[in-house]
Amino acid sequence: MRIVIVGAGLVGLQLAQHLIQEKHDVSLVESSEDRARNASNRLDCLVLHDEGNSLRVLEDAGIAKADALVCVTGSDEVNMIICGLAASRYPRPLKIARVRNDDYVRLNKAGERVLGIDHFVHPDVEASESALNAIEHGARGDILAFAGTPYKLGSIDITPDSAFDGLALKDYRKIAPGESLITLVERRGQIILPGGATVLVRGDRIHILAREKEMNRIFALSGRTEQPLRNIGIVGGGRLGALIAEGLLTKEGLLSKHKTAKPSLFSFFKTLISKRNCRVVIIEQDYNLCKELAARFPEALILNEDISEESFTTEEQIDKLDLIVTTTDKQELNIITAVYLKSRGIDRAVAMVTGPGYAAIARRLGVDVVIPMKTVVVDSILSHLMGGNVKEVHRLGDGSVDIIEVEIRKDAPVANTAISAFKLSAGGLLMLVNREGNSFIPQGDYAFKEGDRIVLISKTGSRAEIEKYFGAVV
Task: Evaluate whether 367 touches 227 at the Cβ level (below 8 Å).
Answer: no
Phi and psi, residue 146, nearest 5°: -115, 105
Count of alpha carbons within 13 angstroms of residue 227, beta-carbon side: 17
pLDDT of residue 398: 66
Predicted confidence band of residue 379 (pLDDT cuts 50, 70, 90): confident
Any residues with CB less than 8 A from the CB of 455 and at least 6 apart, and which? 146, 265, 403, 404, 405, 406, 430, 431, 432, 433
Average pLDDT over residues 203-221: 84
Domain CATH for 29: 3.40.50.720
pLDDT of residue 314: 62
Verify that 234 and 326 share a domain, yes or no: yes
Residues 358 and 258 in one domain: yes
Q: How many domains does the chain have?
A: 4
Residues whose CB is less than 8 angstroms from the CB of residue 56 and which lie 6 or more positions away in sequence, other chains included:
none
* Distance separating alpha carbons of residues 41 and 43, to the nearest angstrom: 6
* Whole-number pLDDT of residue 275: 43
- The answer on 372 and 254 residing in a single domain is yes
Among the candidates 377, 401, 431, a domain finishes at: 377
Give the three-state DSSP class for 305. Answer: coil
Give the residue among 211, 222, 141 at the shortest CA–CA distance from 178. Answer: 211
pLDDT tens for each residue of 231-257: 999 999 999 999 999 999 875 544 444
Q: Examine the domain organization and report whether 233 and 336 are in the same domain.
A: yes
Mean pLDDT in the chain?
84
The answer to whether residue 288 scores a pLDDT higher than 90 is: yes
pLDDT of 271 over the 90 cut = no
Examine the pLDDT at 267 and tell me if it is beyond 50.
Answer: no
Q: How confident is the model at residue 474 (pLDDT cuts 50, 70, 90)?
A: very low
| One domain for residues 238 and 318 | yes
What is the rounded average pLDDT of the residues 404-420? 85
Nearest to 190 by CA among 9, 365, 39, 198: 198
pLDDT at 263 > cutoff 70 = no
Name which of 80-89, 393-402, 441-450, 465-474 the model is least confident about.
465-474
Residues 240 and 354 in one domain: yes
Do 217 and 245 belong together in one domain? no
Q: What does the alpha-carbon distance between residue 291 and residue 439 come to, in Å, rounded to a whole number?
A: 47
pLDDT at 269: 39
pLDDT digits (tens, 9 = 90+) for 47-98: 999 999 999 999 999 999 999 999 999 999 999 999 999 999 999 999 999 9
| Predicted local distance difference test score (pLDDT) of residue 226 | 65
Angle (CA) 75-76-77 rounded to 5° is 90
Predicted model pTM? 0.79
The pLDDT of residue 215 is: 83
pLDDT band at 332 (very low <50, low <70, confident <90, very high): very high
Residues 238 and 191 in one domain: no
Q: What is the DSSP letter of 448?
A: -
135-167 residue pLDDT tens: 887 887 777 877 678 888 888 888 887 888 899
25 and 94 housed in the same domain: yes
Instruction: Put residue 399 in one of left, alpha, beta given phi > 0 → left and psi -120 to 50 → alpha.
Output: left
Residue 205 lies in domain? 143-221
Q: Which of 50-54, 105-109, 259-263 has the highest mean pLDDT?
A: 50-54
Could you tell me the sign of the dihedral formed by the alpha carbons of 16, 20, 21, 24, in that order? positive
Strands of the 428-435 sheet, one edge to the other: 390-396, 401-407, 453-459, 428-435, 438-440
pLDDT for position 56: 95
Question: Same domain, yes or no, for 52 and 82?
Answer: yes
Q: Which of 88, 121, 154 is the last residue of a domain?
A: 121
Q: Which of 221, 242, 257 is the last residue of a domain?
A: 221
Count Cβ atoms below 10 Å from residue 298 Cβ, excluding itself: 9
pLDDT tens per residue, range 190-203: 888 888 889 999 88
Note whether 416 and 328 are same-domain residues.
no
Of residues 84 and 134, which shows the higher confidence score?
84
- Residue pLDDT, tens place only, 380-395: 898 888 765 666 777 7
Query: What was the pLDDT predicted at 112?
Result: 61
pLDDT in the model for residue 313: 63
Strand order from edge to edge, sheet including 323-326: 301-304, 279-284, 231-235, 323-326, 348-353, 369-372
* Alpha-carbon span 376 to 394, nearest angstrom: 9
Of the listed ranges 27-36, 195-204, 212-221, the least confidently predicted one is 212-221
DSSP 241: H
Helix (H, G, I), strand (E, B) or coil at 372: strand
> CA 296 from chain center: how many Å?
28
Instruction: Please indicate whether residue 222 or residue 180 has the higher confidence score (pLDDT).
Output: 180
Q: DSSP state, 318?
A: G
Predicted local distance difference test score (pLDDT) of residue 57: 96
- Please, what's the largest Cα pairwise distance for the chain? 66
Distance CA 305, CA 310 (A): 11
> Are residue 319 and residue 356 in the same domain, yes or no?
yes
CATH code for the domain of 215: 3.30.70.1450
More confident residue, 182 or 222: 182
The whole-number pLDDT of residue 316 equals: 64
Query: How many C-beta atoms lie closer than 10 Å to residue 25's C-beta?
Result: 16
Would you state the pLDDT for residue 389? 64
The mean per-residue pLDDT over the stretch 440-454 comes to 88
